Structure 1
Amino acid sequence: MPIEQRVISGPKIGAKIGGGASSVPNPTPEPEPAKKRKFKVRRPVLIAGLLIVLLAGGAGYWFFLRGDGTPTVKAPEPGAVVTVDPVSLNLADGHYLRIGFGLQLTKETVEAPDTSRALDTAIALYSGRTVAEISDPATRAALKAEFVKELDEKYDGEVMDVYLTNFVTQ
């Protein structure tokens, strides 16, 4: 009877895998352990970041989307114009100003107001000024704006503008 010989390639039964000189490398490598995260988000840092985002969003809303907090007042509609006859006022250095104007009333004003308050305001505002001061366009515009503001206060919002219809210096 013939003798059968078997050749086994690989480690011997019971031999240590990966050890010794006659060992064969492991055909399936072991998986590497998962790397740990080096940066951990801590709870206080996360809360601080959320607070910063919320504050920035609130500030953006406050400055850009929100109104200014004052109730929106509808601009008055213009109504009738009441004219005031021209009068002569004394200026500085013996000069005169002949001024006439019209009062632009609001639409809600039913009855024409007494113009004597407007005339008194014009006399107080323009009297005693120099011709050079009144002739300067910038100063004249500033005086007119002040005149409108004072008339608005004196007439409780019934007068919304003033039109200078006569303005002559001598």
Structure 2
Amino acid sequence: MPTEQRVMSRQKIGGGATSARVVPPSQEAADPAPKSRRRLVLLVVAVVVLAAAGAAAWFLLGRGGGEEASAPEPTVEAGEVAQVEAISINLADGHYLRLGLGLQLTADAHDPDPSRALDLAIAQYSGRTVAEVSDPATRDALKTELAQRLAEAYEGEVIDVYLTNYVTQ
């Protein structure tokens, strides 16, 4: 089979200059268009990656230097500690917990009514097992939760709670 060769020119017909090149038929289909498409795709992918990285940095690292750092919460001046008389609380399986509390008040707090503190403590500890109230980690978690409830009940006048009597039977 004879090989056919075609002459292709980069200039328009009648353009004047006669620079021509000979292209074999096997390379005729290879057009520069796929290279330009590949470059365009790479350029679009690079722009998308840079935009995603910029958005991620903006969301994760903050919204820029224009915002001020959050102000620290004002510290509350501690006042006196109000003693709450110890009570016996029923636990599960016929056991008891003898619980005494000390309420750390703010400096501007007035004489709090201890009945709210006792009511919250009874609700917090009643029906628990001896193992639960004896475990140090659980005891600390229960105390922290009680302190939060007391702060809400006394509208910020109680800032902490101390366990002054803690005996299980």
Shared fold per TM-score greater than 0.5: yes
Deviations 1:91-135 (A, max 9, x none): 23333221111122344x432322211111011111232222211
Partner of 2:97: 97
Choose 1 or 2 for highest CA Rg.
1
Q: 1:122/1:106 Cα in 2 relative to 1: closer, same or farther (>3 Å)?
A: same
Q: 1:47/1:157 Cα in 2 relative to 1: closer, same or farther (>3 Å)?
A: farther
TM-score in terms of structure 1 length: 0.60
Q: Separation in 1 of the partners of 2:161 and 2:63?
A: 35
2:49 to 46, 52, 71: 52
Partner of 2:88: 88
Q: 1:110/1:158 Cα in 2 relative to 1: closer, same or farther (>3 Å)?
A: closer
Q: Is 1:161 the counterpart of 2:134 in the alignment?
A: no
1:63 to 60, 63, 75: 60
Q: Separation in 2 of the partners of 1:94 and 1:46?
A: 75
Deviations 1:21-69 (A, max 9, x none): xxxxxxxxxxxxxxxxxx7665x864663453243123213212449xx
Q: Separation in 1 of the partners of 2:42 and 2:75?
A: 54
Q: 1:164/1:148 Cα in 2 relative to 1: closer, same or farther (>3 Å)?
A: same
Partner of 2:118: 119
Q: 1:57/1:93 Cα in 2 relative to 1: closer, same or farther (>3 Å)?
A: same
> Secondary structure in 2 aligned to 1:103?
strand
> What's the % identity of the aligned pairs?
52
Shift of 1:167: 0.5
Q: Separation in 2 of the partners of 1:73 and 1:151?
A: 23
> Secondary structure in 1 aligned to 2:97?
strand
Shift of 1:140: 1.2
- Runs of at least 5 residues in structure 1 that lack an aligned partner in the other structure: 1-38
Q: 1:115/1:72 Cα in 2 relative to 1: closer, same or farther (>3 Å)?
A: farther
The answer (yes or no) to whether the contact 1:84–1:100 under 8 Å persists in 2 is: yes
Amino acid at match of 1:64: L
The answer (yes or no) to whether the contact 1:76–1:106 under 8 Å persists in 2 is: no
Partner of 1:131: 130
The answer (yes or no) to whether the contact 1:79–1:106 under 8 Å persists in 2 is: yes
Q: Separation in 2 of the partners of 1:140 and 1:165?
A: 13
Q: How many residues align?
A: 129
TM-score in terms of structure 2 length: 0.60
Superposition RMSD on alpha carbons, in Å? Answer: 3.0
